[in-house]
Amino acid sequence: MATGRENLFDAVLVKDLMNKVKGKSSLAVLSGQTPIPFNGLKEFIFSMDNEIDIVAENGKKSEGGITVDPVKIVPIKFEYGARVSDEFLYATEEEQLDILTAFNNGFAAKVAKGFDLAAFHGINPRTGGASTVVGTNHFDGKVTQKVKYTKGTPDTNLDAAIAMVQGSDGDVTGIALSNAFGADMATVKENGVRQYPEFRFGASPESLGGMKTSVNKTVYNDTVKDHAIVGDFSNAFKWGFSKEIPLEIIKYGDPDNTGKDLKGYNQVYIRAEVYLGWGILVPEYFARVVDEV
């Protein structure tokens, strides 16, 4: 395997990486992935303003009306790098592939977590603070329909949030839950019988009431304190990534700004970048269960 700068991840590694992201990211589990061009794409949201009309033969037709709102989805860069021994440069291709596969596994986990934190809460995962690059393009920023979380009655909270979405003419296809909310679901009893035993012992069932479900610590944020996000993840949320994932093997300098020269420490630096884009196409088709409304 070549070790020059600006190589790309092998196609097999890219496929493996994205499969791992789908397994660990709630958003990737609940929604379908669409390839996003590097320069972004526009999704056009059509709203039919009136109901369909029944017209008698030779009868007068009236205007239905239509509203078109474009939503621009622009991919942003997520980066991760790590130092390894410069013995990597002199290893066999098979040994290099083993190292890159291990890096790929870790990178996938970081991308999955980072995607959720950015798209759910607008957070830069590295700093833990708000990302100016993401701006308001996240669920906490765009989804204004909220239900107050009441411990002990999480299923009632979900019913109220789902009713909000349906009241906005939306469908609920997926449910993202915090770990605390999932644990609370496991305690709900009726006549002494647990109603949702599939949530016990920290489990994350794949579905609830026929809807895709994901329990993940990325749902909760210390600032906003989301416990659940419900809505039409299948149609009203789009995400994707650029298929070309750059991989650099850097031999010289101080690429991570640690003050330690690579040559001086017999190291090389492996850096990978992935471009992810997403858009909340219809915010009113979602609702959040939060600590404070």
- Rounded mean pLDDT, 208-225: 93
Residue-by-residue DSSP string for 181-195: HHHHHHH-EETTEES
What pLDDT, on a 0 to 100 scale, did the predictor assign at position 40? Answer: 61
Which pair of tokens denotes residue 286? 């979602």
Of the pLDDT bands very low, low, confident and very high (cuts 50, 70, 90), residue 150 is very high
Strand, helix or coil at 209? Answer: coil
What pLDDT, on a 0 to 100 scale, did the predictor assign at position 39? Answer: 63
- Residue 112 scores a pLDDT above 90: yes
Contacts of 142 (CB under 8 A, 6+ apart): 136, 280, 283
Contacts of 34 (CB under 8 A, 6+ apart): 238, 239, 240
- Residue 102 scores a pLDDT above 90: no
Length of the chain: 293
Alpha-helix runs per DSSP H in the chain: 11-24, 26-30, 93-121, 139-142, 154-167, 179-187
DSSP strands (E only) in the chain: 7-8, 41-48, 66-73, 76-85, 146-148, 174-177, 189-190, 193-194, 207-208, 211-215, 226-231, 237-241, 246-250, 267-280, 286-290
- φ, ψ for residue 124, nearest 5 deg: -85, 115
- Residue 11 scores a pLDDT above 50: yes
What pLDDT, on a 0 to 100 scale, did the predictor assign at position 1? Answer: 38
- Residue 136 scores a pLDDT above 50: yes
Contact status, residue 50 vs residue 65, Cβ threshold 8 Å: yes
d(CA 103, CA 106): 5
* Residue labelled with tokens 């895709």: 212
What pLDDT, on a 0 to 100 scale, did the predictor assign at position 43? Answer: 61
| pLDDT tens, position by position, 37-77 | 656 666 655 555 667 767 777 767 676 655 556 677 888 99
Parallel, antiparallel, or unpaired: how do β-strands 174-177 and 211-215 relate? parallel
Would you identify the CATH topology of the domain 7-47+69-290? phage-related protein like fold (3.90.1690)
Query: In 152-185, which positions are buried (b, 16+ CB within 10 angstroms) versus exposed (e)?
Result: eebeebbebbbebbeebebebbbbbbbbbbbbbb
d(CA 167, CA 228): 18
Mean pLDDT rounded to a whole number for the chain: 87
What pLDDT, on a 0 to 100 scale, did the predictor assign at position 91? Answer: 86
pTM equals 0.85
